[in-house]
Amino acid sequence: MKKILILNGPNLNLLGKREPGIYGNQSFESFFEQLKQQFSTVELHYFQSNHEGALLDKIHETGFEFDGLVINAGAYTHTSVALADALSAVTMPAVEVHISNIHAREEFRHHSYLTSRCKGMICGLGLFGYELAIRFLLQNNE
């Protein structure tokens, strides 16, 4: 059975409450339950932290054993060389996801330190981007 980790960064624990006009009104926990039902033949894992070190530790812990990573590093996308280095250091392929269209927002959100370390990036498609990233990882990791 394929093992895929979904890794969410800071403030994504507030999905469903935080700026619903940008991020929607569904919590990630309820969405994750839908994903687990939809991908019942995949071992999906979910981890969220507001702390950069915890995200790094999770990449290190799973990066040589899991079949793929869906990462939404939140604001760390635009600031964290350490997360970019961690993605380069491990063997699991990653897809970067952003719920909003980061290129239609503030200028500082237009740059990602992670994109060049990932197989691809999906932004602006809401939570559906996570489903697409999982589908890509499954199709390109057989």
What pLDDT is recorded for position 87? 98
59-77 tens-digit pLDDT: 999 999 999 999 999 999 9
Using alpha carbons, select from 65, 68, 69, 74 the residue that is nearest to residue 113: 74
Q: Where are the domains of the chain?
A: 2-139
The interaxial angle of helices 128-139 and 28-38, nearest 10 deg, is 40
Catalytic annotation, pick one of 23, 46, 76, 113? 23
What pLDDT is recorded for position 24? 80
Third-level CATH fold of 2-139: Rossmann fold (3.40.50)
- Whether residue 72 is annotated as binding a ligand: the answer is yes
For residue 60, indicate whether it is catalytic: no
What pLDDT is recorded for position 15? 86
36-64 tens-digit pLDDT: 999 999 999 999 999 999 999 999 999 99
With b meaning 16 or more CB within 10 Å and e meaning fewer, what string describes 44-69? Answer: bbbebbbebeebbebbeebbeebbbb
- Whether residue 100 is annotated as binding a ligand: the answer is yes
Catalytic annotation, pick one of 51, 60, 76, 98? 98
